[in-house]
Chains A and B, each alone.
Chain A
């Protein structure tokens, strides 16, 4: 009897252990897989600003087919690795960050594969020289003012001011251009960019985009500009 009392728990214990393990692992499972995958990298390195699903963060949404198709792969890699002179930090080891080149490439390829779409590119290029500020003023008045308010700040508009001096001090011309081009459709914004979905007569031409960016940039006070 005593022998049974002693042996049974041991047998049960061993049995439970062997049954519970579908394998006795011979190789240590590689714990780094989750981080090395592109979405793991995205969640640890990008989601803080660009949003958990690539949308609805304070920074530019990346789950945007038009954006991913219009900006070249090389440009995306360069911006991630070296930053933009804005709040987009240089993430690459080349510029003091923590991401290796291979990781950045995996990140970009993953985003383009999962969030991108063939043929979603805009006709207007992502980057371009600023146009005429004067012409841009007219574009602003007819396309932007109803939501973003008058440039003098008297009326704010439902979407908040984009001519606010402090806002303009914090954003680059390229960020303004991207905002005009791609809008914030993830937030339900009906912004009059040239992206698909706008009625053709409400779309901005490439020249309009360049002009309105020049107009906004001209409102930026030279002093007190934030440089990162």
Chain B
């Protein structure tokens, strides 16, 4: 039996020579001190393999047409045995892959592993980063729900701003002037053919470059990279003190990959798949679309950009970021690798990480976003209701009915887009409140045409009652007598003058 197997292997090896090629690759010597820091690249590769397998399985179930995509996801989630788990693993593993790419990249940057002779490895890695992000974005489109629709809408409107070519680029992206069936087909082709193929090719190149130039050692203070002598010294050191990649270094990779896999499968089992969240219908205005984790920081940055620089930064920033990342090893190909000797690099890295983390956090909590169902679900604080007059009660109803609460919190509940109104009565006088309600301003729409005179009086009367206990209403001394008259609305305020009956 064993002899037969050996004969088959021997025959195959004689005709193909594969073992002779592969053995030196998996047993090539790597530096002994390359320990747990070096597992993230392998984990990324593992998640990519999981994506390939789970994605292939999903492709056998998914209907890539605008009419059926959403339903086919519901079908996978509810009808196919363990179909939801397949989607959950694909979704969670995608996020894990993005995370691992970023961690891997940070580790390489922190240890200066991109320096001579591994510049090209870094550049291919940067391309892989963008392939991974592109896969994540196009994967989000596959869900064909509200998030996908609005994500596409934002992408298209960014592309649309490109000077001269904008319209054509948008048509190429969407397969026409608007989001439709052709858009989904296009992104499906990208997601399952173009991007995975490209990624596989780049991963191959990345691995080849690693084999060719060796795995970098842990950086040591006082051992700068000198291109003229680096290769010779590195090879001598690895020959002397290195260990074979398999099984020595690969063990750690396997343990870490195993743990990461457990975490991802556990998250998938506990939290289930991502979406689909509601039909991709542009007329549903109470949609609260949100990009996936990897893009939340962009979502936040876009929301916070001042309008004047929006177009410029939208178009200028991406190429600058890509070129800068690609150019890092060219900017600094030699010298010290130890983080303690590269303070500017480390501080720059920390700055970028902090900015990304802060923007992602803002993207998750997005205080500028309206809460679309606050008007029916967020009660008026009882402390206020208990002291309202009948007219002020009607004003509180105007607040809810006009969906003011979607943007304005009272005592901390409600939307956070506008200021909290819990104490607005002690900040703005009656006339200031009337002006703000009627004319808007400071990002608030004008309600002058939406509200009747009676509604304006009622809502302003309510707003004036919105004060912390014991605070008097705000008034401008001498401006108008009625402001000082306390809670009571004016008996015949000018704004209340009824418009002439038609």
Report A's interface with B, CB cutoff 8 A. Answer: 2, 6, 9-10, 13-14, 17, 20-21, 24-26, 28-29, 43-49, 51-52, 56-59, 87, 89, 148, 153, 156, 159-162, 164-167, 169-171, 179, 187-188, 221-226, 228
Task: Render B240-270 as a binary contact track against A, CB cut-off 8 A, 1 for contact.
Answer: 0000000000011011001100100110011
Q: How far is the CB of B285 from chain A (nearest CB, A)?
A: 12
Complex Cα spacing A56 to B501, Å: 36
Instruction: Report the 4 A-B pairs with minimum CB-CB distance, sorted nearest first.
Output: A160-B389, A224-B498, A58-B396, A169-B454
The residue of chain B having its C-beta at the shortest distance from the C-beta of A29 within the complex is B272
For the complex, count residues of B whose C-beta is within 8 A of A. 56
B385 A2 Cβ-Cβ under 8 A: no
B376 A223 Cβ-Cβ under 8 A: no
The residue of chain A having its C-beta at the shortest distance from the C-beta of B394 within the complex is A170
Complex Cα spacing A166 to B452, Å: 10
Task: Render B117-159 as a binary contact track against A, CB cut-off 8 A, 1 for contact.
Answer: 0000000000000000000000000000000000000000000
A48 B379 Cβ-Cβ under 8 A: yes
Complex Cα spacing A143 to B388, Å: 21
B400 A164 Cβ-Cβ under 8 A: no
Complex Cα spacing A106 to B444, Å: 37
**Is B309 located at the chain interface by the 8 A CB criterion?**
no
B458 A166 Cβ-Cβ under 8 A: yes
Complex Cα spacing A225 to B254, Å: 75
A224 in contact with B453 given A17-B266, A167-B390 (CB within 8 Å): yes
Q: Which residues of A contact B269 (CB under 8 A)?
A: 21, 24-25
Complex Cα spacing A87 to B393, Å: 11
Among B76-84, B195-203, B351-359, which stretch is in contact with chain A? B76-84
B394 A47 Cβ-Cβ under 8 A: no
**Is B397 located at the chain interface by the 8 A CB criterion?**
yes
Task: Render B62-83 as a binary contact track against A, CB cut-off 8 A, 1 for contact.
Answer: 0000000000000001100110
The residue of chain A having its C-beta at the shortest distance from the C-beta of B397 within the complex is A87
B251 A2 Cβ-Cβ under 8 A: yes
Given contacts A17-B265, A49-B380, A165-B496, 4 further A-B contacts (CB under 8 A): A47-B376, A49-B379, A160-B389, A224-B499
B376 A48 Cβ-Cβ under 8 A: yes
A51 B452 Cβ-Cβ under 8 A: no
Complex Cα spacing A179 to B377, Å: 23
**Is B386 located at the chain interface by the 8 A CB criterion?**
yes
Q: Show 7 residue pairs from A and B whose CB-CB distance is below 8 angstroms, ordered by the A residue.
A: A9-B255, A13-B259, A44-B376, A87-B400, A89-B401, A160-B388, A160-B391
A164 B374 Cβ-Cβ under 8 A: no
A49 B496 Cβ-Cβ under 8 A: no
The residue of chain B having its C-beta at the shortest distance from the C-beta of A3 within the complex is B251
Q: How far is the CB of A28 from chain B (nearest CB, A)?
A: 4
Complex Cα spacing A167 to B258, Å: 68
- Quick one: which of A17, A160, A225 has the most chain B CB within 10 A? A160
